[in-house]
Structure 1
Amino acid sequence: MSKTTRNTAEGLAATGQDRPELRKALQDIVDSGIIGITLRVHDERGEWVGSAGVSKLGEAAKPPVDGHVRIGSNTKTFTATLVLQLVAEGRIGLDTPVADYLPEFGLDRRITVRMLLQHTSGVFNFTGEYYPDGTVVPGIPATTAGKEWVDNRFATYRPEELVRLALSKPARFEPGADWSYSNTNYVLARLLIERVAGRPVAEEMRRLILEPLGLSGTMAPTTQTEIAEPHAHAYYRYEEAGEVRTVDVTSQNPSWISSGGDMVSTTEDLRTFISALVSGKLLPAHLLAEMCATRPTPAPGMGYGLGVFVQDTGEGGTVITHNGGAAGHAALMYSTPDGGTTMTAAVNYADDADLSAALAFQQATQRLVDEVFVGGSTDADRPSV
């Protein structure tokens, strides 16, 4: 299919067949409060690409269907894949203590590489910990909500700095005793990669993933504040002196999240990546099986492997997935275990201290999963994921 066909606003399939149910889902998502969304679906009917909403507030243009987006925690899947590729090369052991590779941090020797990738280390989350009783233990200043985040969004944080802050706080639980999502795990994984490879993580990512797959629209920017054109705009909303202000935060220094979520990609590159991953083009079969082996998480019907969620569709099927948000940008990445059906999306929205877009984002995600992987929306009581 030509690039011109892919960029049609209506989003026609490769066969020329329209998908009105997908166009309606996108419009419903925009009507729920999301500024803009682009969707890319590959299934037995071919490829379908479409967008809804706007790329920039105050303008009419839709988000570019081939646009770059900050993919947030989808970065974790790339990072986990990179670690497992180094395992395949015999340079990292999944059940080796992380302290053997990174002795300078004084890590608990019970914490293994596997625990980092599966979020079972118990290490404090440097972006802040939220406990079931409502207690919040704040993390780095850059993640403080409101105007302070906007004012600090160009600050540079070294990965070692983020890890040391996390290790200065009490662990959430004993290593291996529970599951809790912590960005610190993946910053440690980044430092592990760099220690073993002897080069920056961005270079190792290019060597093992980006160049072999031809992912020309994907990068690990580290501290680079701009993203390449074309792209939709990201926003942050806060209140000051009784007035609500909305700021364009498309430009920001992603070092505040590091390898917990700093990468930039496109819906096409994400589709290529997740399809290649689940079909065994990046990892040997035994390590792909390790990646997709889950343990229960607090979210019903979901489990976390090594850098991926394995989600029950509720209709007897499963999808391999990771989603992520990064202050006004977000990305979705889904595939059936055989890679036969994939769905990727880029979202731009207005973030805020109350995470008021979170529910709309969750509902949007579930709506699209239902349409693409289940065959239509389920009833409204179905839980969001």
Structure 2
Amino acid sequence: MKKILVFLVLLVSIPTFAQNFNKAKIDSLFQVLESKDKYMGSVAVSENGKIIYTNAIGKDDMASNKTTTISTKYRIGSISKMFTSALVFKAIEEKKLSLNQTIEGYFPTIQNAAKITIGNLLNHRSGIYNFTNAPEYMSYSATAKTAKEMVAIIANGKSVFEPNSTGEYSNSNYVLLSYILEEVYKKPYAALVQTKIVKLLDLKNTYFGGKISIANNECYSYSYTDKWNKETETNTSIPMGAGAMVSTPTDLTQFIDGLFTGKLISAASLEQMKTIQDKYGMGIFQVPFYDKIGYGHTGGIDGFRSAISYFPESKLSIAITSNGINYGNNDIVIAILSSYYNRKFEIPTFTTLDLKTEDLDQYLGVYASTAFPLAITVTKDDAKLMAQATGQGGFPLDAIKKDTFEFRAAGIVLEFNPTANQMTIIQGGTKNVLTKK
């Protein structure tokens, strides 16, 4: 349910050559990722509603060695929000809700409920605290919660800004929207998705998730250190319409095609959904690639990562789902878009330096800066350098050249200067110099 920022923003005018889509090169990329144990997941690309490419690598279950296929079903995290938003706009079209109505009648215990509107929930302008940011979240994330319990948890978080004064991503917004939908329709959220989206679009492998079932062609999720480690399962009663859906890339392309071709909501509703304010639409984000503007969402829950996008000019849909990454979805999507739009891209070689455990000692320590919000603790596990930011999980680092290490899955590069006791962290085009304590 985390907001995962994806897609490179470039400003160059380029021609469209869909007919030159280099499927063989994308196949080669996946072959390298699989051979280097960098990625487990699946992708689908469609043009004008027809699938033009699919691929899948990895394992659904490491313990039984079950191989992933294009039919493997994944938890899609916050892409669920697009489903929820579509349901809300459908309810508005059916005169059951309005964007401007406030939520105090549903949630009187939530601070500023009399000022927060349905629209504010949709575009993350409510000011309601994001409950997944709370330190105690991980202590209950695998435990079933009732609606009453979740509303109490969200209400306890208080407000972080005046409603409609700015935008800030919050999973709480879409959990609350799930309960509002259940109230106005007098049906469970899962049933609403099935009747108003899944059946309408004839989606074969999309539904509200439960306990993961390998027998039902679902997959477990994993994180990577020196091997793939199975992640715990968030109980889907917690994320609800903010992150509980299960799907496949093929179904997701069909879903976003249906959304943008008027099969789910009206063109007027879609325009409202696409309207961006402070980076956020109403359950959707802009996805820029060179001079092309697409729309979509990303998802992250446990070890699952996913992304979906639609480029209206080309009627192009791309969906990617993963259950284990040591190479970012963003890099794969950029490769696919580059191939589709006839841009050059390089297949990574994953060349790394072979260091001994004693070579790493000069980098160990805690690095911090008053200009950077987190301290970075650098440790080692035998001959593997490890890093961990304050309050976050540790991640492994690969030595790519002298004094330089990377965690490619998150696009993080660490450049060390042992003589000066400094480390530069590079991510998303920004650099911050930290000093060893």
Q: Secondary structure at the match of 2:252?
A: helix
CA distance in 2, matches of 1:157, 1:32: 40
CA distance in 2, matches of 1:234, 1:168: 30
Instruction: Name the residue aligned to 2:414.
Output: none
Partner residue of 2:29 out of 25, 28, 32: 25
CA distance in 2, matches of 1:75, 1:260: 6
Q: Secondary structure at the match of 1:211?
A: helix
Partner residue of 2:137 out of 129, 136, 140: 140
Name the CA shift for 1:368/1:19 in 2 (closer, same or farther; >3 Å).
Answer: closer
Q: Secondary structure at the match of 2:312?
A: coil
**Matched letter for residue 149 of structure 2:** E
Instruction: Name the residue aligned to 2:306.
Output: 331
Q: Provide, for residues 194-242 of structure 1, a one-character-per-residue CA deviation record: whole Å limited to 9, x for no partner.
A: 1111111111112211111111311113x5453663234312569xxxx
Partner residue of 1:311 out of 280, 284, 287: 287
The answer to whether the 8 Å contact 2:104/2:114 transfers is yes
Partner residue of 1:346 out of 315, 321, 326: 321
CA distance in 1, matches of 2:127, 2:254: 33
Instruction: Name the residue aligned to 2:217.
Output: 230
The answer to whether the 8 Å contact 1:370/1:377 transfers is yes
Pairwise CA distance, 1:378? 8.8
Pairwise CA distance, 1:20? 1.7
CA distance in 2, matches of 1:162, 1:108: 16
CA distance in 1, matches of 2:345, 2:293: 16
Q: Please show how residues 101-250 of structure 1 align to structure 2 within 5 Å.
A: 101-103=106-108, 105=110, 107-128=112-133, 137-142=134-139, 154-221=142-209, 223-226=210-213, 229-236=216-223, 247-249=229-231
User: Which of structures 1 and 2 has the bigger CA Rg?
Assistant: 2
Q: Provide, for residues 172-204 of structure 1, a one-character-per-residue CA deviation record: whole Å limited to 9, x for no partner.
A: 211111111100000010011011111111111
Pairwise CA distance, 1:140? 2.3
Pairwise CA distance, 1:295? 1.4
CA distance in 2, matches of 1:38, 1:93: 37
CA distance in 2, matches of 1:229, 1:186: 27
Q: Provide, for residues 56-90 of structure 1, a one-character-per-residue CA deviation record: whole Å limited to 9, x for no partner.
A: 43777642111110010010000000000000101
What's the C-alpha RMSD, in Å, of the aligned pairs? 3.2
Identity between Structure 1 and Structure 2 (%): 24
Q: Provide, for residues 86-132 of structure 1, a one-character-per-residue CA deviation record: whole Å limited to 9, x for no partner.
A: 0010110011112234446464311110111111111000101xxxx
CA distance in 1, matches of 2:26, 2:227: 33
CA distance in 1, matches of 2:174, 2:85: 8
Point out where structure 2 has 5 or more consecutive residues left out of the alignment.
1-18, 348-410, 412-425, 430-437
Q: More deviation in 337-346 or 91-100?
A: 337-346
Q: More deviation in 55-64 or 339-348?
A: 55-64
Pairwise CA distance, 1:169? 2.2
Determine if the alignment matches structure 1 residue 377 to structure 2 residue 377: no
**Matched letter for residue 239 of structure 2:** I
Q: More deviation in 326-335 or 100-109?
A: 100-109
Determine if the alignment matches structure 1 residue 363 to structure 2 residue 331: yes
Q: Provide, for residues 248-275 of structure 1, a one-character-per-residue CA deviation record: whole Å limited to 9, x for no partner.
A: 3475522232222011111121111000
Name the CA shift for 1:82/1:274 in 2 (closer, same or farther; >3 Å).
Answer: same
Determine if the alignment matches structure 1 residue 72 to structure 2 residue 77: yes
CA distance in 1, matches of 2:171, 2:315: 30
Partner residue of 1:293 out of 251, 254, 275: 275
Q: Secondary structure at the match of 2:104?
A: helix
The answer to whether the 8 Å contact 2:234/2:301 transfers is no
Pairwise CA distance, 1:339? 7.0
Which structure is higher in strand share? 2
**Matched letter for residue 240 of structure 2:** S
The answer to whether the 8 Å contact 2:57/2:69 transfers is no
Determine if the alignment matches structure 1 residue 63 to structure 2 residue 68: yes
Q: Secondary structure at the match of 1:345?
A: strand
Instruction: Name the residue aligned to 1:280.
Output: 262
CA distance in 2, matches of 1:183, 1:318: 25
CA distance in 1, matches of 2:345, 2:33: 13
**Matched letter for residue 192 of structure 2:** E
Instruction: Name the residue aligned to 1:48.
Output: 53
**Matched letter for residue 180 of structure 1:** E
What is the count of residue pairs matched by the alignment? 332
The answer to whether the 8 Å contact 1:95/1:112 transfers is yes
Q: Provide, for residues 346-366 of structure 1, a one-character-per-residue CA deviation record: whole Å limited to 9, x for no partner.
A: 21116xxxxxx5x73443444
Q: Secondary structure at the match of 1:38?
A: strand
